[in-house]
Amino acid sequence: MEPEQDPYCIRLLFDQLALRGRDPQAVIDLVDSDYLQRLWKVPPNLAFSVALAHDRLKQPQKARSTLRNAVKEYPWLAARLCKELDISPIPKAVWGKEPNGDYQELLCQLYVPKAKDLWNTTEATSLLVEICYSFEEELGLGEDPYWLAQIPETDLARHVILSDDRSLMALLDTRVKSKFTSVSDPLPPDDSIQSYDLSGAGSGSGQNRSPANRAQLLESLEELRAYFQSIHIENLVGEGITEQNLIGALEGAGSNLDEFRRNSDRFQTVRMRLQDEGVQVVFDQDGHGQEGLEVESEDSD
């Protein structure tokens, strides 16, 4: 769970979980977050669900205004929702509106079939009908909504793969689907660390070492060495690390405690994996008392 990058696109499901869990305020807080709006803007599922959240909290004016904005921004989702709820006739303002391309179709299908039961109450359906009929002006097609930030295709693909819905999989770009090799770890990040090499499974000790795997681990080690060098970790060790001087060093290097902890954990993982590969990572002091990282191989290569 990495809220800022959201690699599994939990933002496309969070609202439904919160509403089903009887916590509508959580949806409102998420949508009202200035920080997350800058990152994500307001995708269609959040735009519609926040109106439901206000409705459940007995805030009718806020529910109407937020839903009206959502319908204006995403008329194609409103039209699909009316169709799924068997609203007849479909209000003229949204009638005939369809998603524009596979991307919008995917977002529509990720929300409407799963969320329609949340809208299938007298109060919610009446609110939707009232707002859709309130438009006197012609709505656009919603081809390029201002509220819709482009979701990274790999992140969206992970979300779809984990949904295990073949009809949704068909809407993904074949170029992205071709990278999908594992159900347990769909589309791992580019900087992931492999925990083991399947090609050596069942082999004796020392036979499952892969030069490619070792090179990848050494590359990760070098990245981590550069990170710790940037915060002058050797000086902190010499002085005695305290939370105060650590935070100061991290701020000076443009880092933070969360990143430091992630990289510390990652270093331990890389170090253990290199040990399995026959490489020892040791700390060595130079003539000036400065600590550094060195690697020692158990064999000639």
Amino acid sitting at position 217: L
Cα separation of 21 and 27, whole Å?
11
Query: Which pLDDT belongs to residue 209?
Result: 56
pLDDT tier, 101 (very low <50, low <70, confident <90, very high otherwise): very high
Tell me, what's the pLDDT at 201?
44
Comparing 60-69, 107-116, 141-150, 272-281, which segment has the lowest mean pLDDT? 272-281
Out of 183-192, 203-212, 268-277, least confident range: 203-212
For residue 292, which phi and psi values (nearest 5 degrees)?
A: -145, 175
Backbone angles phi, psi at 238, to 5 degrees: -65, -40
Query: Looking at 29-43, 133-147, 195-209, 247-261, which range is the least confident one?
Result: 195-209
Give the tens place of pLDDT for each residue, 142-157: 999 999 988 999 999 9
- DSSP for 268-299? HHHHHHHHHTTEEEEEEE-TTS-EEEEEEESS
Closest C-alpha to 149, from 49, 69, 37, 71: 37
Tens of pLDDT, residue by residue over 194-229, are 655 555 444 444 444 566 677 778 888 888 888 888
Write down the pLDDT at residue 200. Answer: 47
For the ranges 50-59, 94-103, 197-206, 276-285, which has the lowest average pLDDT?
A: 197-206
Radius of gyration of the CA atoms of the chain, in A:
26
Lowest model confidence (mean pLDDT) among 104-118, 233-247, 286-300: 286-300
